Amino acid sequence: MFKGSIVALITPFKNNVLEQDKYASLIHHHIKNGTKGVVPAGTTGESPTLNHVEHKKVIEIAVKECNGKIPVIAGTGSNSTAEAIELSKHAEKSGANALLIVTPYYNKPTQEGLYQHFKAINDNVGLPIIIYNIPPRSVVDMSIDTMARLFELKNIIGVKDATGDLNRVNQQKNKMGPDFIQLSGE
Protein backbone atom coordinates (compact mmCIF):
# COMPACT_ATOMS: atom_id res chain seq x y z
CA MET A 1 0.00 0.00 0.00
CA PHE A 2 2.85 2.43 0.79
CA LYS A 3 5.38 2.32 -2.02
CA GLY A 4 6.41 4.37 -5.00
CA SER A 5 6.38 8.15 -5.14
CA ILE A 6 4.60 9.46 -2.06
CA VAL A 7 4.57 13.24 -2.11
CA ALA A 8 4.85 15.50 0.90
CA LEU A 9 2.42 18.29 0.06
CA ILE A 10 3.21 21.95 0.47
CA THR A 11 0.51 23.98 2.20
CA PRO A 12 -0.39 27.02 0.09
CA PHE A 13 -1.25 30.25 1.88
CA LYS A 14 -2.14 33.73 0.64
CA ASN A 15 -2.34 36.66 3.04
CA ASN A 16 -1.96 34.23 5.95
CA VAL A 17 -5.03 32.22 4.90
CA LEU A 18 -4.98 28.60 3.73
CA GLU A 19 -5.79 28.47 0.02
CA GLN A 20 -8.11 25.47 0.12
CA ASP A 21 -8.90 25.48 -3.61
CA LYS A 22 -5.22 25.56 -4.58
CA TYR A 23 -4.50 22.81 -2.06
CA ALA A 24 -7.27 20.63 -3.53
CA SER A 25 -6.00 21.38 -7.04
CA LEU A 26 -2.48 20.32 -6.02
CA ILE A 27 -3.83 17.02 -4.67
CA HIS A 28 -5.75 16.36 -7.91
CA HIS A 29 -2.61 17.13 -9.90
CA HIS A 30 -0.80 14.37 -8.01
CA ILE A 31 -3.66 11.89 -8.41
CA LYS A 32 -3.84 12.60 -12.15
CA ASN A 33 -0.08 12.21 -12.61
CA GLY A 34 0.40 8.86 -10.88
CA THR A 35 1.57 9.83 -7.42
CA LYS A 36 1.16 6.78 -5.15
CA GLY A 37 0.23 8.68 -1.99
CA VAL A 38 0.25 12.10 -0.35
CA VAL A 39 1.40 13.44 2.98
CA PRO A 40 -0.58 16.43 4.22
CA ALA A 41 0.77 18.40 7.19
CA GLY A 42 4.22 16.90 7.00
CA THR A 43 7.30 18.94 7.69
CA THR A 44 7.49 19.92 3.99
CA GLY A 45 4.07 21.50 4.51
CA GLU A 46 5.66 23.32 7.44
CA SER A 47 3.48 21.55 9.99
CA PRO A 48 5.27 23.12 12.98
CA THR A 49 4.05 26.53 11.78
CA LEU A 50 0.41 25.53 11.22
CA ASN A 51 -2.03 26.18 14.00
CA HIS A 52 -4.16 23.22 15.10
CA VAL A 53 -7.19 24.27 13.06
CA GLU A 54 -5.09 24.59 9.88
CA HIS A 55 -3.25 21.34 10.58
CA LYS A 56 -6.48 19.41 10.97
CA LYS A 57 -8.07 21.11 7.95
CA VAL A 58 -5.28 20.15 5.52
CA ILE A 59 -5.62 16.52 6.59
CA GLU A 60 -9.41 16.65 6.15
CA ILE A 61 -9.07 18.20 2.70
CA ALA A 62 -6.52 15.60 1.59
CA VAL A 63 -8.73 12.72 2.73
CA LYS A 64 -11.78 14.23 1.01
CA GLU A 65 -10.00 15.01 -2.25
CA CYS A 66 -8.13 11.70 -2.47
CA ASN A 67 -11.41 9.90 -1.82
CA GLY A 68 -9.71 6.50 -1.59
CA LYS A 69 -7.88 6.88 -4.92
CA ILE A 70 -4.47 7.08 -3.28
CA PRO A 71 -3.41 6.72 0.36
CA VAL A 72 -3.23 9.70 2.69
CA ILE A 73 -0.38 9.50 5.19
CA ALA A 74 -1.11 12.33 7.61
CA GLY A 75 1.77 14.17 9.19
CA THR A 76 0.87 14.24 12.87
CA GLY A 77 4.24 14.51 14.57
CA SER A 78 5.14 17.02 17.22
CA ASN A 79 7.72 17.50 19.92
CA SER A 80 4.76 17.29 22.31
CA THR A 81 3.52 13.73 22.79
CA ALA A 82 0.04 14.95 23.80
CA GLU A 83 -0.21 17.13 20.70
CA ALA A 84 0.96 14.28 18.44
CA ILE A 85 -1.69 12.02 19.97
CA GLU A 86 -4.41 14.64 19.47
CA LEU A 87 -3.44 15.22 15.83
CA SER A 88 -3.14 11.47 15.21
CA LYS A 89 -6.60 10.80 16.65
CA HIS A 90 -8.02 13.54 14.44
CA ALA A 91 -6.32 12.08 11.34
CA GLU A 92 -7.76 8.67 12.17
CA LYS A 93 -11.25 10.10 12.66
CA SER A 94 -10.89 12.02 9.37
CA GLY A 95 -10.14 8.83 7.42
CA ALA A 96 -6.38 9.00 6.85
CA ASN A 97 -4.74 5.71 5.88
CA ALA A 98 -1.60 6.08 7.98
CA LEU A 99 0.45 8.50 10.05
CA LEU A 100 3.89 9.95 9.45
CA ILE A 101 5.34 10.97 12.79
CA VAL A 102 8.59 12.88 13.00
CA THR A 103 10.98 12.29 15.86
CA PRO A 104 10.42 15.01 18.48
CA TYR A 105 12.37 18.03 17.33
CA TYR A 106 14.23 20.38 19.63
CA ASN A 107 13.73 18.27 22.78
CA LYS A 108 16.67 15.91 22.06
CA PRO A 109 15.07 12.89 23.75
CA THR A 110 17.03 9.79 24.70
CA GLN A 111 16.40 6.53 22.84
CA GLU A 112 14.08 5.48 25.68
CA GLY A 113 12.32 8.84 25.41
CA LEU A 114 11.82 8.26 21.68
CA TYR A 115 10.45 4.79 22.37
CA GLN A 116 8.00 6.09 24.98
CA HIS A 117 6.87 8.96 22.71
CA PHE A 118 6.06 6.64 19.79
CA LYS A 119 4.61 3.95 22.05
CA ALA A 120 2.19 6.46 23.56
CA ILE A 121 1.00 7.47 20.10
CA ASN A 122 0.80 3.82 19.02
CA ASP A 123 -1.30 2.99 22.08
CA ASN A 124 -3.84 5.75 21.32
CA VAL A 125 -4.61 5.13 17.64
CA GLY A 126 -5.33 2.23 15.31
CA LEU A 127 -3.62 3.51 12.16
CA PRO A 128 -0.31 2.33 10.73
CA ILE A 129 2.56 4.58 11.84
CA ILE A 130 5.65 5.45 9.85
CA ILE A 131 8.52 6.87 11.89
CA TYR A 132 10.12 9.93 10.30
CA ASN A 133 13.78 9.87 11.25
CA ILE A 134 15.34 13.18 10.19
CA PRO A 135 18.34 13.96 12.42
CA PRO A 136 19.41 17.14 10.59
CA ARG A 137 16.06 18.75 11.48
CA SER A 138 15.09 17.11 14.75
CA VAL A 139 18.59 16.97 16.28
CA VAL A 140 18.06 13.33 17.31
CA ASP A 141 18.74 10.11 15.41
CA MET A 142 16.57 7.13 16.28
CA SER A 143 18.76 4.07 16.55
CA ILE A 144 18.02 0.90 14.64
CA ASP A 145 17.62 -0.92 17.97
CA THR A 146 14.95 1.57 19.08
CA MET A 147 13.16 1.15 15.74
CA ALA A 148 13.26 -2.62 16.20
CA ARG A 149 11.62 -2.29 19.63
CA LEU A 150 8.95 -0.03 18.13
CA PHE A 151 8.36 -2.41 15.21
CA GLU A 152 7.16 -4.96 17.75
CA LEU A 153 4.18 -2.68 18.51
CA LYS A 154 0.92 -3.18 16.62
CA ASN A 155 0.93 0.00 14.51
CA ILE A 156 4.57 0.77 13.73
CA ILE A 157 5.13 -0.37 10.13
CA GLY A 158 8.23 1.41 8.87
CA VAL A 159 10.43 4.45 8.57
CA LYS A 160 10.90 7.44 6.33
CA ASP A 161 14.66 7.69 6.58
CA ALA A 162 16.26 11.07 6.01
CA THR A 163 19.62 10.31 7.58
CA GLY A 164 21.41 10.24 4.24
CA ASP A 165 23.18 7.06 5.36
CA LEU A 166 22.70 4.42 2.67
CA ASN A 167 24.12 1.71 4.93
CA ARG A 168 21.09 2.05 7.22
CA VAL A 169 18.77 0.51 4.63
CA ASN A 170 20.49 -2.87 4.85
CA GLN A 171 21.03 -2.58 8.59
CA GLN A 172 17.33 -1.86 9.13
CA LYS A 173 16.28 -4.66 6.78
CA ASN A 174 18.59 -7.13 8.56
CA LYS A 175 17.23 -6.09 11.98
CA MET A 176 13.50 -5.77 11.18
CA GLY A 177 13.07 -7.99 8.14
CA PRO A 178 11.39 -7.47 4.78
CA ASP A 179 8.00 -6.44 6.21
CA PHE A 180 9.46 -3.21 7.63
CA ILE A 181 8.59 -0.46 5.12
CA GLN A 182 11.50 1.78 4.20
CA LEU A 183 10.84 5.11 2.55
CA SER A 184 13.56 7.57 1.65
CA GLY A 185 13.34 11.20 2.59
CA GLU A 186 16.55 12.24 0.88
Question: Which candidate in 32, 132, 154, 175 is catalytic?
Answer: 132
CA distance 78 to 168: 24
End-to-end CA distance of the chain: 21
Beta-strand relationship, 6-8 and 98-102 = unpaired
CA distance 16 to 84: 24
Task: Examine the residue annotation and report whether 132 is marked as an active-site residue of this protein.
Answer: yes
Question: Which candidate in 106, 115, 160, 175 is catalytic?
Answer: 160
Catalytic residues: 132, 160
